[in-house]
Amino acid sequence: MKIVITGSNGMLGYDLVQRLKRRYEVIGIDIDNFDIVHKNVVDYLLRQKPDFVFHLAAYTDVDKAERDRKRAYNVNVSGTRNIVTVCKTLDVPLVFISTDYVFDGWEEIPYTEKDRPNPLNFYGETKREGEKIITAMLKKYFIVRTSWLFGKNGKNFVKTITSFAQKKESIEVVDDQYGSPTYTYDLAVSLKMFLTVKKYGVYHITNRNSCSWFDFAKKIVTLSGGKTVIIPIKSVDFKSKRLAKRPQNSVLDNSLFEKRFDYRMPTWDDALRRYLSNE
Ligand SMILES: NC(=O)c1ccc[n+]([C@@H]2O[C@H](COP(=O)([O-])OP(=O)(O)OC[C@H]3O[C@@H](n4cnc5c(N)ncnc54)[C@H](OP(=O)(O)O)[C@@H]3O)[C@@H](O)[C@H]2O)c1
């Protein structure tokens, strides 16, 4: 089986390539070989004739996307349209990684796949546009909304906190935004299931349980044996440092995926422990 992974050098891409390359022929697409915005990626992939496509490449800097709108739109919308064109022409399944940021966060309970998207920031808008292109053009798709990713191969909150913790006595972290931290290793294990169980649709997939960024930071410091004090602050006091609005509650309900695939996601604190101890 020939599998294309776009964004193969990114944080999730790295783990997915590691999971799949032993058993399958993997073709990695990333900015160093192809820009998914350009049509030549379509011609190349049509010639390669993959059996399955994972589309992970994206403009992922949520704050920068507010200013750099043209590029964010081109990558997340036009680039996605190019990848969808390949899947439609070859009639092969597509997995698209979307985000909790398609929701506005006003709900107080976890979001299900039936809840109405209403993005608060431009990044969320472009990812939602990508979802719409897929549902309009394809039948064989998996749209996976996930959140708060951390993994070995990329910048993430865990690395930021562990690095600050070595230099600072205290760190301020917001305690009024809730989500589910998700280890890219665990997400890659779940994504692999789509190769064999073709139950197409929209799925929310994160590590189990939820927390605030403050809880998450405290756990990172505790598990890494640090002494830095984490100080809770409110998002309004942190606003000046961030261009993009974030949802207050972006916890995603995993139950549809767990039920249909008969699988239980590990909890986020177990995932964090494994990540920090290099297991
Ligand atoms: N990180 C999160 O917390 C999070 C949460 C929810 C959903 N997601 C989604 O999950 C997916 C993977 O996220 P991630 O954190 O692993 O992202 P990432 O580390 O930023 O990886 C994305 C990869 O795509 C590449 N890329 C960007 N623009 C491209 C283009 N035009 N053509 C080809 N490659 C391009 C990036 O290269 P450069 O690094 O050079 O730009 C990077 O290697 C994304 O679709 C993202 O929207 C992420």
Render pLDDT for 230-266 as a digit per residue (tens, 0 to 9). 999 998 877 667 899 999 999 999 999 999 999 999 9
Mean pLDDT rounded to a whole number for the chain: 96
Instruction: Report the percent of the chain where pLDDT is more than 70.
Output: 99
Confidence at 279, pLDDT banded by 50, 70, 90: confident
66, 77, 120, 131 from 69: Cα distances, Å: 6, 11, 14, 18
Confidence at 217, pLDDT banded by 50, 70, 90: very high
pLDDT at residue 238, as a whole number: 73
Distance 98 CA to ligand 1 centre (A): 11
Domain range 2-156+181-209+250-266, CATH architecture: 3-Layer(aba) Sandwich (3.40)
Distance 6 CA to ligand 1 centre (A): 9
Return the domain boundaries, the chain: 2-156+181-209+250-266
CB 4 within 8 A of CB 54: yes
DSSP state of 52: E
Which residue shows structure tokens 């064109």? 85
Compute the average pLDDT of residues 89-98.
98
Pocket of ligand 1 (CB under 6 A): 7, 9-13, 30-31, 34-37, 56-60, 75, 79, 97, 99, 127, 146-149, 154
pTM: 0.97
Distance 77 CA to ligand 1 centre (A): 13
Beta strands in the chain (DSSP E): 2-6, 25-29, 52-55, 94-99, 141-146, 149-150, 170-174, 178-179, 182-183, 201-204, 211-212, 229-233
Q: Six-digit token pair at 278?
A: 């290099």
Atom of ligand 1 nearest to the CA of 127: 47
> Which residues have a catalytic role annotated?
123
